[in-house]
Structure 1
Amino acid sequence: MNHFSKATQYYNYAEFLHLIETLMAEGKTTGNNQSEQYQFYTKLNFQRMQRWNKTFHLTESFAEQLKNQPQQTWWVITEGWCGDSAQNLPGIAKMAAASEGKIELRIVLRDEHPEIMDQYLTNGSRSIPKLVSLDLDGNEVFQWGPRPATAQELMMAWKKNPEGKDFETFEKELHTWYTQNKGIELQGEIAALMPVKIMATL
């Protein structure tokens, strides 16, 4: 079943960036939480996305793999304030752009589509970003998210045993990992999920 047929509005990547920029200029963000803290997160994560837009590079083998995929639509559920989205969505957008038209990227906002989000929970939580690939018939090809496995392990370990470490301290460690990894784990995970594989390794 194509749960995304219920989407009332979706954005391509450029439109999503424009939406966030427009809301920031109005002192707002996406989603139900319009607190100053979430507005701060939005500004910070917009800067992260802009940086990744310039620095995220696909490996040659993965770029070739993307061009050889069957037609599919990649739906990403997210919000503008989400830190993990800022670290992964620019790479996902680069993948779609490199596919030479094989992959169409559509972005939907979580809080505007709870009925869709609730079909893709992570351990019972509405964790984002969530990427869901559908074929032309609306059948699910794969899903990924909310973060690469190593980042998820870091998150789960911190939740299980914070050891006096507040969220801001943990978040700095998490985003340091993203910077050092340079999107390689993200590429490897999605390469393994796509229907057409390649012999070369990332």
Structure 2
Amino acid sequence: MKSILTDSLAKSYTYDQYRNAITALLKEGKSTGNEQSEALTHYSELNETRMNRLEKTITITDEFSAQLQQLQREYIWLVISEGWCGDAAQIVPVIYKMAELSPKIDLRLVFRDENDALMNAFLTDGARSIPKLIVLDKETMAVLGDFGPRPQGAKQLISDYKAEHGKVDETAKTNLQLWYLHDKGLSIQKEIMALMATLEPTAVQMPQE
């Protein structure tokens, strides 16, 4: 696993480099990833707009902001993503905003299709679902936990829709985007901070439900 992680980190991007790579491809009429289609390019264009908006509007709660600034250990947050992924467009800007608050977090991003071995090590129910946040100990490169591809509420919405309709169609995707819009990134913050609380219980104290 350590060699896989080292290889992927060598090919990783900062958040700004990740955004610029997606933008550059869109100017050529392309999306990220091995597969190219008009649909994927269209989704990438929509996601570009979403990410621009979220970077301006997403706020991290005061409580989580304080806790992120109090982290003691040093981490790498390694995110597997692609520009065409609707969930990634909603989640990655929140992860970025969180990482920016802590000098202890080094955020790196990789494209799924460029990192098969890494993706295959972090499948979700056997699927190459993204985005996936992998939390690493920066010193030892040990995997401490992961989050993704969706917060629980979004996961439940899609699961219920699929159970009722037998498939995930454009209506389901629209409903999912509306869920993210109303949630304002709060569920993502809560679930990632719950993970961090298992690593640093003194710095991150989650409220009792």
TM over 0.5: yes
Q: Choose the corresponding residue for 1:9, options 2, 11, 18.
A: 11
Q: Which residue of 1 aligns with 2:118?
A: 116
Partner Cα separation in structure 1 for residue 98 and residue 200 of structure 2: 14
Partner Cα separation in structure 2 for residue 65 and residue 166 of structure 1: 37
Aligned residues of 1:61 and 1:201 also touching (Cα < 8 A): no
Do structure 1's residue 42 and structure 2's residue 68 form an aligned pair?
A: no
Q: Which residue of 2 aligns with 1:132?
A: 134
Aligned residues of 1:85 and 1:128 also touching (Cα < 8 A): yes
Note closer, same or farther for the CA distance 1:189–1:166 as it changes in structure 2 (3 Å cut): closer
After TM superposition, the structure 1 stretch with the greater mean CA deviation from structure 2, 45-54 or 5-14, is: 5-14
Query: What is the letter of the counterpart of residue 23 of structure 1?
Result: L
Q: Which residue of 2 aligns with 1:86?
A: 89
TM-score by length of 2: 0.91
Partner Cα separation in structure 2 for residue 200 and residue 123 of structure 1: 28
Equivalent residue runs for 1:141-180 within 5 Å = 141-162=144-165, 167-180=169-182
Aligned residues of 1:23 and 1:29 also touching (Cα < 8 A): yes
Do structure 1's residue 199 and structure 2's residue 205 form an aligned pair?
A: yes
Partner Cα separation in structure 2 for residue 71 and residue 65 of structure 1: 14
Q: Which residue of 2 aligns with 1:74?
A: 77
Aligned residues of 1:65 and 1:196 also touching (Cα < 8 A): no
RMSD, matched Cα: 1.5
Partner Cα separation in structure 1 for residue 69 and residue 161 of structure 2: 38
Partner Cα separation in structure 2 for residue 77 and residue 199 of structure 1: 27
Aligned residues of 2:161 and 2:168 also touching (Cα < 8 A): no
Segments ≥4 residues shifted beyond 4 Å: none
Query: What is the letter of the counterpart of residue 201 of structure 1?
Result: P
- How many percent identity over aligned positions? 42
Partner Cα separation in structure 2 for residue 126 and residue 166 of structure 1: 16
Q: Secondary structure at the match of 1:28?
A: coil
Q: Choose the corresponding residue for 1:190, options 185, 192, 196.
A: 192
Q: Which residue of 2 aligns with 1:33?
A: 35
Aligned residues of 1:84 and 1:129 also touching (Cα < 8 A): yes
Aligned residues of 1:133 and 1:143 also touching (Cα < 8 A): yes
- Greater helix content: 2
Q: Choose the corresponding residue for 2:20, options 14, 18, 21.
A: 18
Task: Note the residue ranges of structure 2 that are not aligned, 5 or more in a row.
Answer: none
Task: Note the residue ranges of structure 1 that are not aligned, 5 or more in a row.
Answer: none
Q: Secondary structure at the match of 1:185?
A: helix
Query: What is the letter of the counterpart of residue 194 of structure 2?
Result: A
Partner Cα separation in structure 2 for residue 78 and residue 184 of structure 1: 20
1:76-112, Cα deviation, whole Å (9 max, x unpaired)? 001010000000000000011011x210110001001
Q: Secondary structure at the match of 1:174?
A: helix
Q: Secondary structure at the match of 1:118?
A: helix
Partner Cα separation in structure 2 for residue 49 and residue 171 of structure 1: 17
After TM superposition, the structure 1 stretch with the greater mean CA deviation from structure 2, 62-71 or 114-123, is: 62-71
Aligned length: 200
TM-score by length of 1: 0.94
